[in-house]
Amino acid sequence: MKRIVLLVVLLILQLSFIGCDDSGDETNPPPEYFQVYPEEDCLAAGESIHYMITDESGVEYSSIDLKINSYDVTSSVVIDSADGATSVEVLLLLDWSEYTMDDFLWFCIESNDLDGNMSEHCDSIAVCPTEEIINPATALVLTATTNGLGVNLAWTGSTTEDIDGYKVYFNGTIIVDDVTTTSYQHTNPGRLGDYEVVAVRDDEESDPATASSELVEGTSNSIYWMSDPSPDHPSGFGWSKFDGSAIEYTLSAANHPYIHIVLDSEMDIISPHIELSGVDINNTFFDFIPEGYSSITQAGPCHGEYFDYYGTYIDGEVGEAAVVALPDGSDYYYCKMEVTSVNDTDHSITIRWGFQLIPDLRLLD
């Protein structure tokens, strides 16, 4: 029994010397660690752990080692050399290809002071779940509704399988948020604008598929009357149905398929089929609008009873405005046009226009 008591006393005496130097002073305590960032409960991809290592007693560190373990992924790196420093900022930015969602990142920061004393601080933080990126819808196409005053939207769906559906934006405002197919009919937009379709999952949205019903607008160079003797002075003008661009043309036979209006010898803007002969001559219709260009918000249908309002010419006078209808098979392309200047000296005019690229869509503002 006496032998057991003696051993206990010796053990207590031995423990009392641990942590003391020859002078009897306590050895340098381990440094304090303050987690600065992140404040969230988990670490998201691209975020970093930011620690401040310091010690009020003035310990100077020779090295700071970081050891990382996440399941079977283990690495050890020296991330800072802190000779002579009493405080060190440690910034840990991980290669997230090594980690998966719902991992816990375990790490230890090991510090060594100049006297060879080592201390270690270990901690853990959850890796935030990372949602799969939502692949966007693509190939958004706009077409006109049957009455020509609405817009049909159709698109190729997202390849992400677990989406809830689609939202449709018009001029930045949601017009529908529960589309589960790959089409939508904007029955009565009332005006032109920009469309966006996004795939939706919970509160997340994909990048948008975009398309616009806005007009392509422009102004012409001089268009000369047909009596002009110069072969370099164009008397014809025509629009591209692919991009809405327009150009002046001379009246050579090679240009006939591209000419939609002609300035005749009486300074009237007239349909090519009235003045030109041959093949591939366009037949253009004009709906004169006395209130002017700015008042034109939509075209009347170039069929049925309203067709009677369309004629084959308008006067080449400043301010003369019209809706222009260009047949294309069974479809019509509509645009609005205004004469902006008349030169009585060289018998020429200039015009401005707004061309609607969507066939049969009668909205022009």
Confidence class of residue 308 from pLDDT cuts 50, 70 and 90?
confident
Is the backbone peptide bond immediately before 38 cis, with ω within 30 degrees of 0?
A: yes
Fold of 138-212: Immunoglobulin-like (2.60.40)
The answer to whether the 26-127 and 138-212 domains have the same CATH topology is yes
pLDDT at 148: 96
Least confident span in 31-35, 182-186, 223-227: 31-35
CA 146-150-156 angle, 5° bins:
90
CA 173-174-176 angle, 5° bins:
150
pLDDT (tens digit, 9 = 90+) per residue, 214-261? 999 999 999 999 999 888 899 999 999 999 999 999 999 999 999 999
Report helix, strand and coil shares of the chain as percent, to nearest 5: 10, 45, 45
Instruction: Please determine, for residue 204, whether its predicted confidence score (pLDDT) is greater than 80.
Output: yes
Region 285-308: what's the mean pLDDT?
A: 90
Least confident span in 154-168, 197-211, 295-309, 325-339: 295-309
pLDDT at 309: 80
Prediction pTM value: 0.67
Which of 121, 127, 132 minimizes the C-alpha distance to 98?
127
CA 163-166-171 angle, 5° bins:
145
Instruction: Please determine, for residue 149, whether its predicted confidence score (pLDDT) is greater than 70.
Output: yes
Would you mind telling me the total number of residues written for the chain in this entry?
A: 365
Task: In whole angstroms, give the CA distance from residue 218 to residue 33.
Answer: 66
pLDDT at 113: 64
| Domain segments of the chain as ranges | 26-127, 138-212, 216-355
Fold of 26-127: Immunoglobulin-like (2.60.40)
